[in-house]
A and B are shown apart, each in its own frame.
Chain A
Amino acid sequence: MFRTALRNVSAHKARLLMTVLAVMLGVAFVSGTLVFTNTISDAYQKSSAKGFDQVDVAVRPEYQDSRGDRVGRTPELTRALLDRAAAAPGAASATGVVTGFTAIAGKDGKLLGDGWQSAGGNYWGTEDARYPLVAGHAPSGRGEVLIDARTAERAGYQVGDTVRLSVDGPVLTPRISGVFRTDDGNVAAGGSLALFDTPTAQALFGKKGTYDEIDVKATAGTSQRALKTALDEALPAQLVETTTGKRLADDQAEMISTSMSGLKRSLLVFAGIALFVGTFIIANTFTMLVAQRTRELALLRAVGASRRQVTRSVLIEALVVGTVAGVTGLAAGVGIGAGLRSLLGAFGASVPDGPLVVTPGTVLTALAVGIVITVLAAWLPGRRAAKIPPVAAMSSVHAKATTKSLVLRNTLGALFSAAGVAVVLAATTMDTDSAQGPMGVGAVLLVIGVFILTPLLSRPLIAAAAPVLRVFGVAGRLARQNSVRNPRRTAATASALMIGLTLITGMTVMAGSLQTSIDRMASSAIRADYVVSMANRGPLSPDVARRLAGVDGVTASSPLRNGASRIGGETEYLTGVDGSAIGRLTDLKVDDGSFTVGGSRIVVDKDRAREHGWRVGSRITAHFEDGAARGLTVAGIYEGNDMFNGIMLDNEVLTPHLADPADMRVMVRTRGGASDGAKDRLEKALGSNPAILVQDKKDISHDIARMFTLMLNMVYGLLGMAVIVAVLGVINTLAMSVFERSQEIGMLRAIGLDRRSVKRMVRLESLVISLFGGVLGIGLGVFFGWAAGELLGTKMPTYELVLPWGRMALFLLLAGVVGVLAALWPARRAARLNMLAAIKAE
């Protein structure tokens, strides 16, 4: 039997090719993901381990949330602590580490990088072992800075150049005193690092006289563990915690692999979708192969093969196909992994170098996935093959497609679909957090239901296309009839396409709706003409708000200042605003009371008010960072959103209690509204700071749109794989259907259907099947998009379903293109058919 199975594989090479390709793509996706994530996390781990070379024990402040009613403040690592650490037995030296945000401008004055990875730090003393200098000398004072070699090279800076920097507001223009090398992961991943001398760094980052961390180096012969013990004794335990360098490296490695596994999981989900779609194709192919070989299989039975042997021969075939697909898929996957890495590099997010990691696990997974999926998908067709009676060997005609009633199937499908719709609808009425599970279950049920129902749906939906097809005359009519001839096969083919399009459409609907609503929220709640923020959304120096308030033409401005407090024993974050201006800068819906902020009068959002049981007039006591308490009165309750929420109070009340005031944003209103001139004046007032963004509403919308576009494009790319697999399925089905109908096609040619019409007939059939899948997918996608939106809508008052008609039309068009492309080869084959051979009775 094994030999028969092998012969069959080689006899049907062409027909199995699509199956192999379909499985291969899925396997390649899986193994590519594994190779890529393993390689990246390996490289990061190696590079981060190097980063801890200089650290034997790290001393960090003991973080405390709160003590009593006072908001917790982190203990300070002072010079005195550092000296005590350095004097501990076994300690060779101690380095104080200061870190912060530092934006570097390129020669064109624009920010280097995207702002998220622009870091700053301190250079310890005159020779810092952490940062070996390539050129120049250690920085000294505000007038000098070191920058990392990668950034210097990228921006074309040299020692002696003047560079524009910004930490939290004012622009600095120090001279580059030197360039250093670093294995810092942030820099390796495309970020920048600027170093000042320690006092300057402390001043700039708002940490006068203190450090973020003290790194202690052990003397030769002292173990990290011994040093840690010594430090624990030497330093006050309630203020600091100590960690060995090895532990830090391990933690970092762990963190990297955790974050990688998130990426891995989401990539594998998409790979799973592609594989799932692939199973349809495998099942379809084997069903058709078995149907075509009815006589052959019956003959085997007639000469004494048992049912089990027949099934096994089909499964062995599947095994061979699966193995080939697994091996080629693995090879392709290694290629994909390498490709992805260099692709990341091309996007500027350079990844630390390292060898390509192909673990035995990856190899095993790839092979197992390929083989298991193929054999499982071929299981049912194999069982069906065993049911062929030996007498079928004697009958002359092709096995007819099973005309088994669809009643059971339709009933089952209807039940699944109804249950799915019901669960999804029920989920939309639940609250957002608990509804996610039911929503997912409902979605899966509905997809399965629709999949089971596709044979039933195919008739009316394809009949609806009849008027269009009529234009194409006989070819159109035959195409329509052919496409509903084997509803199961059409269904399986269309479903493969449906799945991809459902996800794509659902994502598009959701993203579009979200984008619109966020956009609307931003524009409806903001009355300010400009919103000023840090490029990394980090804190702004209060200096920025002061400067902006003084710009000519500014009629109102207010910072949104951060402040923590304890209210009723719980930590509450406060937003400090300019009480006299905030009403003219925001347009928030007030549910109760009035939007008045000033003195002890505050406003709170609806959710917080409900949480605490506050009403207009409620009196509350807030304990600030410095321990002082203050009585406040709720003047109004407003509807919050992502940008504005929480407790707003006047800065005149808040600021005196803050040791280090910092603003998240500054809102500005100018005379005559937003204009290029106004924007220019604002930017100039800030010294054309590369780190500070001055955005009008349009810029904000643009930012939001860009974020969504980026996300959607990524999703499209990943789901594109599922669509490609579906295309293979359409090709496969058409090729089979042409093969099965060769006699008919021969007859049609004989009685006068020309080659062009034959081609057109096949193409139209393909088009009909693809569009059918497309319509189903887009329909389901819109439903899911709507349902998900209903959920989100409860959290976002401005949410409204936006149907991307243009995109949807594009997807339908895409389905059509898929159909036409998939038909190219089968249509050619049909047109080239040998008429005489085809007409012959058998």
Chain B
Amino acid sequence: MSVHNSINTGKPITVTIDGKECKSTFGKTILEIARENDIYIPTMCYLTKVQPIGSCRMCVVNVEGVDGMILSCQEKAVDGAVITTNNDALFKERQNIMRLYDVNHPLECGVCDKSGECDLQNKTMEFDVDAQHFTARDQHRPVENWGYVSYDPALCIMCEKCVRVSTEITGDEALKVKFGGYGSTIINVKQERNYASLGEAAAVCPVGALVQTHFKYTANAWELEKIPSACPHCGGGCQMYYEVKHDKIYRVTNEFEFTNLCGAGRFGYDYANEGVTKDEEAFNTAVEAFKKADSVIFAPQISNEEALILQKLKEKLGFKLVCHEACAYQKFMEAYAKVSGKNIYGGNLKALSESQGVIVLGTRINDDSPTVKYHINMASKWQRARVAYMHPIEDGEMQHIVTQFIKYEAGSEEGAVALLAHTLLADADIPESVRSVLDDLDIGNLSAESNIGEEELEALRKSLLKRHGFSLVVGEDLYAHPRAEQIAAWVALLERYAGFNVICVPPAGNAMGVSLICDLDEAAEGKTVGYNVKGDFTLSALGDGDLDMPALNQQEGTLTTVDKRVVPMHVALPYGGYVLNDIANALGLKATYTIDYTEQLPQTAGFKAAAFDDLPEYFDMVGNEHRGYLLEPQSVAQELALEEVGELDTFDGAVVYRCNPENHFSPFTAKSPLLDEEAVLTGSQQFATVTKLKDGERICFEIDGVRFERVFKIDTEMKGTIALNPTFDMGLSASLLSSYRFSRLSFEKCNNDKIGNNDE
């Protein structure tokens, strides 16, 4: 972009397209303006969510006073331009392009998965290509199976959409173009890693070249019913469609033009609680259990409406309501609100993707929230953003994106965030009280304790100079930290005084919705009823409790997303048993359907009084999201109470970090057969030396009363003495973990004979 252009960006302009006067702003391409005004320009390689590719040349238009044809996807419109999108010459040009695309394209539409929703099929019809008039020597191009996706080079039209998505959006950077004229092909340079995020690359493929392996040849596009929904796994609430035939989900797709879906969302759909019937006896026991319960403990994988039902039951029956992840988040956000003045954080994903500087703190973001990672990647690729990644463990998956890795000691988050605030607020206009706290910080001590060098912070400050648009992404490490409330205050200072676009990534499932709706208690006591958590009486959507509950793809409801949006989910699969609303009705609440509670979601927390059936679910022509509604931030009384940084409790020796692998979040992803992954404790060679463990050894240890039995695996890419301990395979115990994510490891070796055959 030249200097001249960037100065004029945003100025109102008027262009005439096909005789229609279109008002827009400078900086938009001709194609964007045409689409805003419902004018059709055919394209093959254009994908709204990435930068123009320009490989197909289908989008050519004529501009008055300019010789030749112009690529409308790349060319910015100038004021007063008169544009023709269709005439005989343009039609001929496009027809010839289609003829070339069709040369030797295998005539296997009959079996091709894409048939019926294929861009090549549609455009071939549109431009009347009914015969092949010339040819080229065909080559042997065998089908390649890359794991989650398969690639058939014979069908590939080299539009490069998949490569762009893999680079600009998902950031796995696995796909590359291998140039070679007619022999050009797409190659997977990281085949051994089998990225589930390549599902996104398969989604954008306009032909049947890149397809989901499990779906290949199982159903035709037109046989599947698309059920719009939102992905419930990480709290991202990404848009998705369940594609269903005969009460079975065949695959998951999305509005790939505008949104993204990570591997877990795309392949982790098969977790429904099937074959359930109404067991009246168990139901009556459940109602009794609720009446007698002293506490109800639940996992955050529930809808807003269910959370509201539990809250209402709490008000009625007076039990304690416990959800560890959401409770920690709630406390964190309360402390945050006291400084920022708003009950939710101010940042959003779009602003994150437009940032020129991003700081990630206290989260292994690639594993915790792929959608947030994607947006950081977009900022990195489009804005060349500086990305500072502050965490005790380096993440190999982030190394293409991260420009500065700042390592701090586990446990010293408070020191780290105070140092960060000290650095970034150095020149900011802040009240005297805050300034004096900042000035009083013992920088040398903090720096030594947290192991963050002052020169690192100085480098960070310098790298952000002369840039604008900054984002701060904070995560789960901070919420369950013993000094979480102080940390929240420091983070909020950055939003309030340094103009940071702050995103506090919700820890799991619908934790954000739960934290806004429920009045949570810290610890359970007495008799417990567990919902997707082990309790004295257990309601479970996993099918292993005392009473069955529907999984999230079997019920209607709304989710609250990391983008602060309340989005609807619909029923993809049938469910024959009782739901939470039935129990609530038996206990004296009154609602025909669970979704009757959608209107009653607390407006004091920012929800709107909108009925479930009135929630919109679509993207418009230019990609604006109209899905559910955005939460309305509520004002909170400000109360600035910054304490001195407490004694930093750091961890020495062997430490485990609670962290699920990229494609797993909960027992529900663990139940999905496509995301087949073994839960192992992974640590570095150094960790193995410290703990004297060998690769493949089986150990037992306990965290928060939950007993883990894990095989230890050495990951040569990792460094340091912190190992990753997944929880997704722990079933109903997964949500019992409540403490800080890092914990010292004290373990015993398990008797291998007793457990049975191992891989040794």
A binds B: no
